[in-house]
């Protein structure tokens, strides 16, 4: 009987997680004045990740945001000092190495090898992203939309207050961290046996985490995510996705520095 009860609880653990999330969200509203729906959503996601033994993804997600968090905190308090720069790069190196080792130990990605860097597919992926960028630019002109996004404006402002070496490092490293979390983590960990859920979640999550605020920004990041998610769904090659994403970010970085 006890085994049957445990099996029942295991089968419907998502209901328990949601109930607890709602209860704690209600308490958070009254005590900490936090928004109920957002708190319930965050607690539900975290609870479900642990309930279904997907905590590795949460660790990778936290690590992926660590360098940006550190540089933003330093930039908001004072001008970057030499010590701040040293601290940032120590944390950055720790983040990259830890993320790679965790992903390898969890068998999410293979050991790095030249065979995972097919040049033709990498170039094709970059061209697709470039075409998507042109399409969103045309959309902005037709509908009189601002040809930039709130997220890009925030990055432009951050670029003005942090050392260029740190800004460039963050921009280029995003290709490694974001592909590991939003593509590999979702396909190989969260929805390992549900490719359609994995595709939809990976595409929307990547776009959402870039802070879209209007139709243009949703279109910009949504189409970019569609290309990258499509590449991963077809080839299941982390290093291919990382390379395409890296080239695109490098292209954007060069343009930004030229304009500056």
Q: Where are the domains of the chain?
A: 1-53, 117-259
Angle between helices 55-77 and 150-161 (to 10 degrees): 50
- Percentages helix, strand, coil for the chain (3-state, rounded to 5) are 85, 0, 15
Nearest CA-CA partner of 220 in 247, 242, 248? 248
Please tell me the predicted confidence (pLDDT) of residue 2.
Answer: 61
Full pLDDT tens readout for the chain, 260 residues: 466 666 766 777 778 888 888 888 887 776 666 677 777 777 777 787 777 768 899 899 989 999 988 888 888 877 788 898 999 999 999 999 999 999 999 999 999 999 999 999 999 999 999 999 999 989 888 877 766 666 667 776 777 778 889 999 999 999 999 999 999 999 999 888 889 989 998 998 898 888 787 888 888 899 999 999 999 999 999 999 999 999 999 999 998 888 76
In this prediction the pTM is 0.83
């Amino acid at each position: 009987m006890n085994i049957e009860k445990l099996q029942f609880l295991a089968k419907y653990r998502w209901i328990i997680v949601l109930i607890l999330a709602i209860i704690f969200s209600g308490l958070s509203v009254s005590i900490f004045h936090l928004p109920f729906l957002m708190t319930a959503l965050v607690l539900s996601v975290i609870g479900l990740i642990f309930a279904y033994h997907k905590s590795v993804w949460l660790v990778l997600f936290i690590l992926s945001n660590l360098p940006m968090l550190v540089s933003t905190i330093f930039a908001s308090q004072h001008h970057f000092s030499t010590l701040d720069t040293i601290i940032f790069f120590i944390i950055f190196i720790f983040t990259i190495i830890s993320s790679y080792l965790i992903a390898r130990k969890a068998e999410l990605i293979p050991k790095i090898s030249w065979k995972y860097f097919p040049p033709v597919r990498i170039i094709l992926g970059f061209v697709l992203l470039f075409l998507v960028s042109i399409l969103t630019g045309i959309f902005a002109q037709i509908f009189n939309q601002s040809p930039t996004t709130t997220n890009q404006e925030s990055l432009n402002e951050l670029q003005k207050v942090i050392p260029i070496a740190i800004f460039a490092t963050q921009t280029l490293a995003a290709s490694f961290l974001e592909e590991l979390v939003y593509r590999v983590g979702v396909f190989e960990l969260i929805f390992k046996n549900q490719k359609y859920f994995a595709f939809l979640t990976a595409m929307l999550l990547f776009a959402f985490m870039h802070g879209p605020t209007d139709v243009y920004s949703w279109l910009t990041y949504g189409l970019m995510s569609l290309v990258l998610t499509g590449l991963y769904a077809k080839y299941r090659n982390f290093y291919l996705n990382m390379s395409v994403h890296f080239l695109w970010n490098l292209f954007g970085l060069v343009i930004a520095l030229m304009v500056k």
